[in-house]
Structures are given as structure tokens and as C-alpha cells.
Chain A
Amino acid sequence: MLRFFLSRVLTAVPALFIIIALAFFLMRLAPGGPFDSERALDPEIAKNLRRIYKLDRPLLEQFWLYLQSLAHGDLGPSLHWRDFSVNELFAKALPVSATLGAKAMLIAILAGTALGAAGAMSKSAIGPRLVDGAAIFGIVLPVFVVAPLLQLAFGLSLPALPVGGWNGGAWQNQVLPVITLALPQIAIVARLMQAALRDALAMPHIRTLRAFGMPGHHIYIHALRAAFAPVVSYLGLAAANVLTGSVVVETIFGIPGMGRYFVDGALGRDYTLVMGTVIVVAAAVLLFNLIVDLILAWLDPRVRYDARRR
């Protein structure tokens, strides 16, 4: 298991490096700079600014300097919010986004697996179809449609919850954003779970257990273990999807999280800020994939042996 873990970490590190390099050079390729504005700056001032932020150095040297400061955990000063470093901006925004994302994921996993399992276990023909049909709605309705509809339903027509804002993380402010983020993931997880559990229940070893007259809960425990694999392997992608969805959710609900730094940073050519968001997001996705791999290996011994053989 340790060996498996180490091999996964060793592949994740170069991946992260390549992502950093790709993002760094792609950003610089884009036309325009961080100090462009409606009125052209005085050339002397612009030159000074570029010198202070070391943007006048050769690109490779800049990259090297950036990697060095990154190794010290310093994401650099923000080029747009001049009084803040990227670390300071993230220190405020990251907990907000992480809270939302974690809650959404938790709800998606719990509700999704429960719904999917219920669909697969139901004896009638309608149960599975109901789950499938509902799931299609959840999958196709984009986050940016669901969010305003929820605002309309629960914020305006039935003024029970605030329509936007964060308010220091009060639970009323969290309900709608978390539900919006979780809904599509609930749908996907439910579908996956239902299909996987149905397949698992049809497997020979389950049939054998039934033939032995084992009690129902005993059979389901065995089936669930096999059924969890596809669900768990989807969770890596789910994390990435929740991160993407949070960009929209945070925009619509006016939440001071990481989401807005994505778009604003890129449009304002705030190089360090964009690099910071890319690194944080990529690291989060890679970390989540690592955890998913570990859980998969724990669930299914074949995954472990396969890795050892290679």
C-alpha cells in the first residue's frame, strides 16, 4: 500500500510542475499586460512598475524566480490588488470556497449514493426509471440556470433565505449555494451508483450468497463494496466539476471566494493571481485524485496488485 501511495505521489508532482509551466507561459502568450488601462501610463512609470514586479527580466528568469518563491510558499504580490499579496487574498477566499465545496461534495456523495442505491434495490420497474429521469434533469440543467431559479423560488417568491452574500458564513447564506453546487453531482452520483449496484447485484458471488440463503443486509454489504468503485473513481472528476461550478455560483450569489479570482485575474492579466488560482485548483484536483486512488486500492485489491506489477 505504501508503495502504491508513493508511486502515485511521484506521478502527481511532475504533473503539477507541467501544469504550472503551461499556465505560466500561456498567460504570457496572451496579448496585453497587467498595467494596461484606458489611459496609457507614462512610459517611465510603466517601466518602473515592470521593474518592481520583475516583469522586465527574461521570461525564463521570471519563471525561475517564480518557482523559487513558490518553493517558499510565496505566491507573490497581486498585480491588480496592489496592496495585497496573493497569499493574503487566498487566506480570506480559500476557506470560503473550501467550505462550500466540501459541503457540496459531502451532500452529493450522501444523497447520490442513497438515491442510487434506493433505485437499484427497488423491486418495481418504476424506481430505477424515476432515478434515471430525475438524474437527467440534474445533469443537463446548468448551474447558472439552477442558481437564479433557486434564488427566485426561495429568496424572492418565498423570502425564506438570503438571495446572496456571505455574511461571515451564516448557514442561511450557505444553503442555496451548496444546494446549487451539489445538485448536478447528486444526479451523476445517483446514476452511477444505481447502474453499478444493479450490475453488482447480478454478479455470480451475490447469486451464490442468495443461494446460501444469506440475509438481505449481508448480501447488500457485499454488493455495495463492488458498487462503490465506479462512484469513488468519479469523485475526482466531481471535485473538478464542483470547483468549476463554484466560479458561477460565487458570481451569482455574490460570495467572496476563489471563483471570482479566476475570471477577474485572467481578464486583468494579473499573472500572479491567475497562477495562484491555477496552482491551488490543480493541487486540489491532484490531491483529490490521489485520495480517490487510495480508496479504490483499498476497495479493490486488483488495483493494488496491478500497480505493483508495473
Chain B
Amino acid sequence: MSERAPAVHLSPRNLPTRASLAILGLIGLLCLIGPLVSGHPYHQVYRDYVLVRPSPFAHPDARETHAALEGIARRMRVGVESFRAESGILHLTLSADRPIDSRALRAFERSDVFGPARIVETNGEGRRLSIDVPLKRTVFLFGTDANGRDLFTRTLIAGRISLAVGLLASFVALTIGVAYGAVAGYAGGRIDALMMRIVEIVYALPFIFFVIVLVMVFGRHFVLIFVTIGAVEWLDMARIVRGQTLSIKQRDFVAAAEALGASAPAILWRHVIPNASGPIAAYLAVLVPRVILLESFVSFLGLGVQEPLTSWGVLVADGARNIQGSVHLLIFPALFLGATLGALQSLGNAWQGSPGAGSR
């Protein structure tokens, strides 16, 4: 009984579409798998590696080894007599005025640069100690932040959050918008006019204020960010669905369903919403990047995701604060955010331009 609008589909031959899909797939995969294989928990703090520059090579380099060694020697109150590095192992000779307590060697283990120390030789009643210390090899592909946390892992964890917020908040907006728009359009008349008037008024409300107040009322809970953003972004969806409903309810199959005694919710669910799915899907493709952007905006202001968890907005805010000296903190998250948003946007454009998406 129900006529179907032509299915919305993306032409995979289109080069921008293909590139966008590839970028999204790559970023999605990286965010999903990356944190598992990066070798760094996202909240692990490396005190010896604060604001390290990005590099594909393993740390520590000679300078970092030296600095860490000096720090440990100072804390142990010993002098370093000789120092020779050989295939990942440091051969050290320590000396002091008093016998060296071998328990103090644990300081090596505790640092982020060295492994556990092994005593090779003890001389002068324990005043001279020859030890072998292995170097810990760590790679910080994107460098580290001001707290010494691996930026690569954090960027990908942030991506998970941002993408999750994007999808879930869009879902919230979708649900509210479709229900609201369909009801307004189907009811028509005074109810429709009133409901759309409300939408217009909420439009004039500066949404950022709305978000701030909702965050204050609900607290800064992770899940509530979805709800808050969804609660702000449903307006356009409601308008689109209402417009579609107005035209769909004139069609013969709706009249037939009414004649057969179908209830209003049933007609909306079975006939109106499925037939409006093309424009809904097309708008959804534009909504997801907007929601991600909004989340990062809210997080940028410090109202969104809270530490140690993070999102791209938080990372970019961090980068903006550390711009003098540590550009990588801004560049990498911004690159990921920009690439994701760009890919989504161009997909949305392609989708809206495709046959069956309908025009607004």
C-alpha cells in the first residue's frame, strides 16, 4: 500500500565521496584500534617526557637520558663517574662518600626512561658501584602534552568520544525532531502554527546560552552532553519533517489508511515517516558534523567532557593555550577534527544532491 520514495544512495564513483568515505573509515578504525596498540594508556603520565615533540623515533635520546640520569644521581646523592651507552643498555659507575644503598637503585625503575638496574660490580666497600641499566624505549608519535601524556593515544580516545557524541546526540535530535515535526505537520491548523511558533522562538534563543544552562542544571555528566546537544539541534529536523509531512498527508495512501480506520500514530509510523526518510537521512548527514562541532565547542569552553577523559574540543583548547612553543598540541587534534568534519560535510553535500534526497 505504501508508495516508496526512490532510495537515497551515494554514488561511489564520485571522487570526493570516495575520499570522504576513506578518510572517515580510516579515522574510525584508528580511533577504535589505535588506543589498544599504541602502548600508552590515555591517562598515563610520563613525568620525564613533558611536552615532547612528535617523532617516529623512540625516546629517550642522548639529552633526555642525560637529564634523567642527572636527576636520579642527585636524588641518590651519588656522582656518575663513567657513562657508556651500548645497544640499549647503559653501563654506569656510581660513586659516593658513603656506601651506596642498593635499594636506592629503584629510582631507575621508577623513572620513565630506565628499566630496573642490575649491579655488576661493587668496589671500595660499596662506595663505587658498577651497574647496568637498560633503557626503556617509548615512542610518542604525536609527542606529549603538558602533563606528559601521549598525544597519539589521547587524540584517538578523544576521537572515540567525539564520534560517539556525534552519533548519539544526532540520534537524540533525530528522535525529538522527527516526532515533533511529524506531529505538527499531521495535526495541522492551530496546533501546527503554535508548535512551529515555539520552534521559531527557540531559534532566536542563543543556543550557547541554552547549552550552558542545561549543563548547569544537569551537571557535567558525560551522557547528559548527548541530551543537551540533542535538545538544541532538533529544530531544523522538526522543520524539515513537518514540511514533508504536510505534503505526504495529502497523498492517496494516507487517505486510504485513514479510511481503513488506522490510528494517527500508526499512520505517522507506517506511512509518513518512512516516506520522509530520504530528506531525514540527507539532513542527518549534515547534522552529525554539526553536533560534533557543537560538542567540541562546549568542551572548548570547559563545559563538556571532563579530564582525564577528553574530546577533540578539549584537546584543541589545550593546544590553543600552549600555542607558544608546542604547536603539535594544536595541529594533531585540529587535523583529526577538521578531516572528520570535512569528510562528513562533503558526504552530506553529496547525499543531499543525490536523487531521492528531495530538495528543501
- What is the interface of chain A, defined by CB distance below 8 A to chain B? 15-16, 18-19, 22-23, 26-27, 29-32, 132, 136-137, 139-142, 144-145, 147-149, 151-152, 156, 240, 243-244, 247-248, 251-252, 262-263, 266-267, 269, 274, 277-278, 281-282, 285-286, 289
- The answer for the CA separation of A19 and B296 in the assembled complex, in Å, is 26
- Find A23's partner among B209, B342, B344 (CB 8 Å cutoff): B209
Enumerate chain B residues within 8 angstroms of A22, measured Cβ to Cβ: 205
19 A–B contacts, CB within 8 A, in A order: A15-B201, A19-B205, A23-B209, A26-B213, A27-B213, A29-B217, A136-B346, A139-B345, A144-B300, A149-B330, A152-B330, A248-B300, A262-B209, A266-B213, A278-B206, A278-B209, A282-B206, A285-B206, A286-B204
B327 interfacial by beta-carbon distance below 8 Å: yes
- Find B213's partner among A30, A156, A248 (CB 8 Å cutoff): A30
- Find A144's partner among B289, B320, B346 (CB 8 Å cutoff): B320
Enumerate chain A residues within 8 angstroms of B301, measured Cβ to Cβ: 247-248, 251, 263
Q: Do the beta carbons of A147 and B320 come within 8 Å of each other?
A: yes
- The answer for the CA separation of A247 and B344 in the assembled complex, in Å, is 25
Closest to B217 in A: A30
Enumerate chain A residues within 8 angstroms of B167, measured Cβ to Cβ: none
Enumerate chain A residues within 8 angstroms of B171, measured Cβ to Cβ: none
Closest to A269 in B: B216
- Find B296's partner among A29, A137, A142 (CB 8 Å cutoff): A142
Q: C-beta contact mask, B332-355 vs A, less than 8 Å → 1, else 0?
A: 001001100110111001000000
Q: Do the beta carbons of A145 and B209 come within 8 Å of each other?
A: no
Q: C-beta contact mask, B9-28 vs A, less than 8 Å → 1, else 0?
A: 00000000000000000000
Interface residues of B in 280-313 (CB under 8 A from A): 289, 293, 296-297, 300-301, 303, 313
Enumerate chain A residues within 8 angstroms of B157, measured Cβ to Cβ: none
Enumerate chain B residues within 8 angstroms of A285, measured Cβ to Cβ: 204, 206
- What is the interface of chain B, defined by CB distance below 8 A to chain A? 200-201, 204-209, 212-213, 216-217, 289, 293, 296-297, 300-301, 303, 313, 316-317, 319-320, 323-324, 327, 330, 334, 337-338, 341-342, 344-346, 349
Q: Do the beta carbons of A142 and B289 come within 8 Å of each other?
A: no
- Find B212's partner among A18, A145, A149, A266 (CB 8 Å cutoff): A266
- The answer for the CA separation of A112 and B349 in the assembled complex, in Å, is 19
Q: Do the beta carbons of A136 and B293 come within 8 Å of each other?
A: no
Enumerate chain A residues within 8 angstroms of B330, measured Cβ to Cβ: 145, 148-149, 152
User: Measured between C-beta atoms, what is the minimum distance from B336 to chain A in Å?
Assistant: 11
A141-B341, A243-B206 given; name 5 further pairs at CB < 8 Å. Answer: A16-B204, A23-B213, A142-B316, A156-B324, A266-B212
User: Measured between C-beta atoms, what is the minimum distance from A57 to chain B in Å?
Assistant: 22
Enumerate chain A residues within 8 angstroms of B208, measured Cβ to Cβ: 244, 247, 262
- The answer for the CA separation of A264 and B240 in the assembled complex, in Å, is 35
Enumerate chain B residues within 8 angstroms of A244, measured Cβ to Cβ: 206-208
- Find A140's partner among B217, B323, B324, B341 (CB 8 Å cutoff): B341
- The answer for the CA separation of A22 and B327 in the assembled complex, in Å, is 42
- The answer for the CA separation of A281 and B317 in the assembled complex, in Å, is 25
Enumerate chain A residues within 8 angstroms of B320, measured Cβ to Cβ: 144, 147-148, 252
- The answer for the CA separation of A137 and B345 in the assembled complex, in Å, is 10
Closest to A288 in B: B204
- The answer for the CA separation of A139 and B341 in the assembled complex, in Å, is 9
- Find B337's partner among A18, A29, A145, A147 (CB 8 Å cutoff): A145
Enumerate chain B residues within 8 angstroms of A152, measured Cβ to Cβ: 323, 327, 330
User: Measured between C-beta atoms, what is the minimum distance from A203 to chain B in Å?
Assistant: 16
